[in-house]
Amino acid sequence: MGEKVIYLNNAATSWPKPERVIEKLVWAATELLATPGRGGAGVRSERVLFEVRESVARFIGAADSSRIVFTCNATAALNIAISGLLLPGDHVVTTSMDHNSVARPLARMEDDRRVAVTRVDADKDGILSVESVLGAVRPETALVILTHASNVTGTIQPLDEISDGLRSRADDRPRLLVDAAQTAGVLPIDVQASGIDMLAVPGHKALYGPSGTGFLYLAPDLVLDPIFEGGTGGQSTLRRQPKMLPERYESGTPNIPGIAALGEALNFIGEKGLGEIRRHETALFDLLVRGLGDIPGITLFGPCDSRQQVAVVSFRLDGMDPAELGGFLEEAMGIQVRVGLHCSPLSHRTIGSFPEGTVRVSPGLFNTRDDIDQLVEGVRKVREMRSV
Amino acid sequence: MSELDTVIVFPTTHLTLGAEKSLEKAGIQYRTVMKPRKISSDCGLAIRIASLSLERSRGVFLADGFLPVRFFREVEGAWECIEEIGDD
């Protein structure tokens, strides 16, 4: 970006990326010659993928790194999980805070009469009740899908309580799929301790990796139908896709530079520490909520409590289209936010901001208090101009 | 240096690289090579060890879960599978 920009759209894609991540990306694009698993020079690429897979496994508490499947983003991971697991006649419990990356695959399967879906409503702050989620589970429920934190309100859901409730169901326990698009890199996630069967994570948000990266974790006893099939390097004589992971779910040449850079991003996050990242973002969140809350005519969505939210704040200014406000902030002040429905119309219906949506502000690790002050000042100016 | 006369083949490169790490940790001498075509028409890697290390290597793979695995030795110019552990 050439001109001075105040970037407050980290919930979509974090920016800037740490310099070392960019350096790794360039290094891998320059030095890693060939497709992994296809012999010769590909061995170096394969070693890089192996090491990053190991880093990812450590990061989320997975015992076996072969259960980490690289994808191009969280949407791809969610599609592999949903389409690969569900069988005709299955029932799914999901929530009214889903992103379209969950809602749309389910809607297609629902329309095809392949699966039945129960969408549990969150309250107007986007908070789910544990009892409502557990109460929606039926004997034929194969899958419960939980968005760990909303991309619209930042609301953190009670993952461990829901997981504990599901685990207490013993043999007929449904699988738990967690969409960690807004939490991986901010909140600690341990797939074993939290009883997560499948975890979908983007590389380009709070992990500070490049776009085009992400992963899906699969629990050890879980077998999905692959939705992509093709060349896997090894086991080429098999007529069908191999059973062994990660190859079963990874066909074709992967994004080697991106994955190498994702590994460097994990190193960066590890050195920084999740506690420090969370503290920084929480301080900015509190400043933002206080600053916007003081402006007459502003409606803040969500609980406005950093203990219950990641650093995502949605708001509206009375009588003003969120798109108009966002446009002014960008054009007049170089402040980048995201307006509209954020690919999550269900969430906006839940919090009462459908169909116009909201202005969403999502600070990240590289934002400062000054960035937040300028945003608040910009919104105040718009409000004053409209009052004249 | 003892002759690395035994070839170890895993079905995936991921397992091969994991096994390589475990051998390193256990102090077992090894070399990573391309899979000999006479053993497998697949692309990918194999590991060579000395037959003296076979028992220890087997123990390492069983303990660390690097399965399935096949061990080959050259007998009169042909590669013979001398042991196979775990189901593919």
Based on the fold, state whether residues A259 and A374 are members of the same structural domain: no
CATH number at residue A332: 3.90.1150.10
CB–CB contact B13 A36 (8 Å): yes
Which residues of chain A have a CB within 8 Å of the CB of B42? 233-237
pLDDT at A237: 85
- The yes-or-no verdict on residue A130 having pLDDT over 80 is yes
The B residues from 22 to 81 touching A (CB cutoff 8 Å) are 32, 34, 41-45, 65
Give the integer Cα–Cα distance in Å for B54 and B44: 21
Residue A40 pLDDT level (bands cut at 50, 70, 90): low
Query: Of A43, A65, A235, which is closest to B11 when you measure between CB atoms?
Result: A235
Give the integer Cα–Cα distance in Å for A267 and A273: 10
Please compute the mean of the pLDDT values over residues A338-366 and round it to a whole number.
96
Out of A40-54, A245-259, A320-334, B14-28, which region has the weakest mean confidence (pLDDT)? Answer: A40-54
CATH number at residue A79: 3.40.640.10
Residue B38 pLDDT level (bands cut at 50, 70, 90): confident
Query: Of B14, B32, B34, which is closest to A66 when you measure between CB atoms?
Result: B14
Q: By CA distance, what is B45's nearest residue in A?
A: A39
pLDDT at A328: 94
Please compute the mean of the pLDDT values over residues B18-37 and round it to a whole number.
95
Based on the fold, state whether residues A264 and A286 are members of the same structural domain: no
Has residue A207 been placed in a domain?
Answer: yes
pLDDT at B1: 46
Give the integer Cα–Cα distance in Å for B12 and B46: 10
CA distance B18 to chain A (A): 8
Query: Of B17, B42, B43, which is closest to A50 when you measure between CB atoms?
Result: B17
Average pLDDT, chain A: 95
CA distance B44 to chain A (A): 5
Has residue A256 been placed in a domain?
Answer: yes
Based on the fold, state whether residues A206 and A284 are members of the same structural domain: no
Q: Cβ of A245 under 8 Å from any chain B Cβ?
A: yes
Based on the fold, state whether residues A263 and A328 are members of the same structural domain: no
Based on the fold, state whether residues A52 and A197 are members of the same structural domain: yes
Average pLDDT, chain B: 91
Fold of B6-80: Alpha-Beta Plaits (3.30.70)
Q: What Cα–Cα distance (Å) separates residue A86 from each residue in A100, A134, A147, A226, A331?
A: 18, 19, 18, 12, 46
Based on the fold, state whether residues A160 and A34 are members of the same structural domain: yes
pLDDT at A387: 75
- The yes-or-no verdict on residue A13 having pLDDT over 70 is yes
The residues of A that are catalytic are: 343
pLDDT at B2: 60
CA distance B39 to chain A (A): 13
Has residue A13 been placed in a domain?
Answer: no
Please compute the mean of the pLDDT values over residues A93-106 and round it to a whole number.
98
- The yes-or-no verdict on residue A37 having pLDDT over 90 is no
pLDDT at A36: 64
Q: What Cα–Cα distance (Å) separates residue A308 from each residue in A91, A158, A286, B34?
A: 29, 10, 12, 52
Based on the fold, state whether residues A245 and A296 are members of the same structural domain: no
CB–CB contact B44 A234 (8 Å): yes
pLDDT in tens, A304-347: 999 999 999 999 999 999 999 999 999 999 999 999 999 999 99
Based on the fold, state whether residues A204 and A340 are members of the same structural domain: no
pLDDT at A38: 58
CB–CB contact A46 B45 (8 Å): yes
Q: Cβ of B12 under 8 Å from any chain A Cβ?
A: yes
pLDDT in tens, A240-252: 999 999 999 999 9
Has residue A238 been placed in a domain?
Answer: yes
Based on the fold, state whether residues A130 and A52 are members of the same structural domain: yes
Residue A283: domain span: 273-387
Residue B48 pLDDT level (bands cut at 50, 70, 90): very high
Cβ-based burial of A111 (10 A; exposed 0-12, middle 13-18, buried ≥19): exposed
Question: Alpha-carbon Rg of chain A, whole angstroms?
Answer: 21
How many domains are there within chain A?
2
Based on the fold, state whether residues A316 and A369 are members of the same structural domain: yes
- The yes-or-no verdict on residue A227 having pLDDT over 60 is yes
CA distance B33 to chain A (A): 10
Please compute the mean of the pLDDT values over residues B7-29 and round it to a whole number.
96
Q: From start to end of A182-327, where are the E strands?
A: 198-202, 214-218, 298-301, 313-317
Write down which residue in A272, A300, A329 finishes a domain: A272
CB–CB contact B12 A247 (8 Å): yes
Q: Cβ of A47 under 8 Å from any chain B Cβ?
A: yes
pLDDT in tens, A190-210: 999 999 999 999 999 999 999
Whole-complex ipTM? 0.89
Based on the fold, state whether residues A112 and A49 are members of the same structural domain: yes
Based on the fold, state whether residues A258 and A287 are members of the same structural domain: no
Asked if residues A159 and A317 have their Cβ atoms less than 8 Å apart, the reply is no
CB–CB contact B44 A247 (8 Å): no
Has residue A53 been placed in a domain?
Answer: yes
Q: Cβ of A50 under 8 Å from any chain B Cβ?
A: yes
Residue A41 pLDDT level (bands cut at 50, 70, 90): low
How far the first Cα of chain A sits from its last, in Å, is 34
Please compute the mean of the pLDDT values over residues A257-270 and round it to a whole number.
98
Q: Cβ of B17 under 8 Å from any chain A Cβ?
A: yes
Has residue A7 been placed in a domain?
Answer: no
Has residue A1 been placed in a domain?
Answer: no
Write down which residue in A272, A291, A319 finishes a domain: A272
Domain ranges for chain B: 6-80
Q: In the block, which residue shows the tokens 């429920």?
A: A141
**Taking CB atoms and an 8 Å cut-off, how many pairs form between chains A and B?**
58
Q: From start to end of B1-88, where are the E strands?
A: 6-9, 30-34, 45-49, 69-75, 78-85
Tokens at residue A288, please?
Answer: 């933002």
Interface test with chain A among B10, B14, B31, B45, by most A beta carbons within 10 Å:
B14
Has residue A11 been placed in a domain?
Answer: no
pLDDT at B53: 95
pLDDT in tens, A272-312: 999 999 999 999 999 999 999 999 999 999 999 999 999 99
Please compute the mean of the pLDDT values over residues A210-234 and round it to a whole number.
94
Which residues of chain A have a CB within 8 Å of the CB of B18? 50, 65-66
CA distance B63 to chain A (A): 13
